[in-house]
Chain A
């Protein structure tokens, strides 16, 4: 099989997964499409180093996250992840930074209101089916951080969705966890 055919067979089937993740991470369809195109261009450039039968999906997600981070001008290092791994660090992380912005019973809207650090882990593991190891590699964070963020994100969204009668401002989800 030619390298082009191999690329089309291995890499292009993940296009929709990459796009929906990019839309949710960047918050904008046009920017997401640019990021996905750039991801495939970079992937093709280094496709000769790609090992067949390894996890192409995780490899593409890693490229995508780097592209989005670069576009957003963010540093690759995630200080929040480092802070969470230090036992003595007070774990005051706001899971819902925009909790006042709107109330919803829609699960995806609730996910979109999560802080990006938690949202991204939830999307990659639950929606896209990446392993903890691949998610940690993709987001450049330790595996322990993946586990803790996932645990907290699941718990808080479930609480958020199952307590509609309580004013959200009073509940202050995700504070002081």
Chain B
């Protein structure tokens, strides 16, 4: 092969992308051709420069890694939960499909509780939502809604998995999603929501509890094992954090 043919193969030669036969031919040519050998050395030098310049460490990698893990955390948990309790989930699905409890007599309360249940189901059916808020945004939004911090339900075994903004009855609420190994609890928070429920509502397999102040509602399935403790803890937290 002539030099002009060899030079077109130098790029894949330095990248180890030639066949053994081609590589042998190029190597043989390079042994006896100083200009082509120089060209190959220049390509290698260029590559080293580019690698060095292109792989300069970036700042903020740890923060980004933490952010990704934070956003993935509900998904990790959901997969674990799904794997562990597929049969239980199927049973719950059947239970949810039936209306086990009578509807509240107030049509407005019915509509509102239905809207909260719909948001809860939406979150459950789309756990891979990309709409989770960043941690700082959660703090900021909760302050706007009158809570000093994220309520801590860890003593009842629930940890915060994510938060998003939702719009039951077209009104903005911050929805906080807590989970333990197999159960889920939601808090819906909105200072600007002016109507409340007269008391606990049980509907379609869910329990909806107004928590002391009218703007926070706890929603969970009726089957929640540790319901009383969780509810009391949530009420205490909301009371302590309400500004």
Query: In the complex, which residue of chain A has the Cβ closest to the Cβ of B57?
Result: A16
Query: In the complex, which residue of chain B has the Cβ closest to the Cβ of A106?
Result: B53
Flag the segment in B65-73, B136-144, B182-190 that touches A: B65-73
What 1/0 mask marks residues of chain B from 61 to 94 whose CB sits below 8 Å from any chain A CB?
A: 1001101110110011001100000000000000
Query: In the complex, which residue of chain A has the Cβ closest to the Cβ of B42?
Result: A158
CB contact list, B216-240 vs A, under 8 A: none
Query: In the complex, which residue of chain B has the Cβ closest to the Cβ of A147?
Result: B12
**B72 and A107 within 8 A (CB):** no
Interface of B is mostly: helix
Count the B residues whose beta carbon is within 8 Å of the partner chain — how many? 31
Hey, which chain A residues are within 8 Å of B64, CB to CB?
15, 19, 33, 36-37
Flag the segment in B24-32, B43-51, B200-208 that touches A: B43-51
**Interface membership of A131, Cβ < 8 A:** yes
Query: A41 touches which one: B42, B80, B128 (CB < 8 A)?
Result: B128
Given A15-B61, A16-B58, A19-B64, A147 contacting B11 (CB threshold 8 A) = yes
Hey, which chain B residues are within 8 Å of A107, CB to CB?
46, 49-50, 53
Given A12-B65, A44-B72, A123 contacting B46 (CB threshold 8 A) = no
**Interface membership of B15, Cβ < 8 A:** yes
Range class of the A interface residue count = 35 or more
CA distance A35 to B51 in the complex (A): 23
**Interface membership of B8, Cβ < 8 A:** yes
Given A44-B72, A158-B42, A127 contacting B54 (CB threshold 8 A) = yes
Query: In the complex, which residue of chain A has the Cβ closest to the Cβ of B77?
Result: A4
**B50 and A111 within 8 A (CB):** yes
Instruction: With both chains docked as a complex, state the minimum distance between the C-beta of A155 and any C-beta of chain B, in angstroms.
Output: 8
Query: In the complex, which residue of chain B has the Cβ closest to the Cβ of A36?
Result: B64
Hey, which chain A residues are within 8 Å of B1, CB to CB?
none
**Interface membership of A141, Cβ < 8 A:** no
A interface, CB within 8 angstroms of B: 2-4, 8, 12, 15-16, 19-20, 23, 33, 36-38, 40-41, 44-45, 106-108, 111, 122-123, 125-127, 131-132, 147, 150-151, 154, 157-158
5 contacts between A and B (CB under 8 A): A4-B79, A41-B75, A41-B128, A107-B46, A158-B42
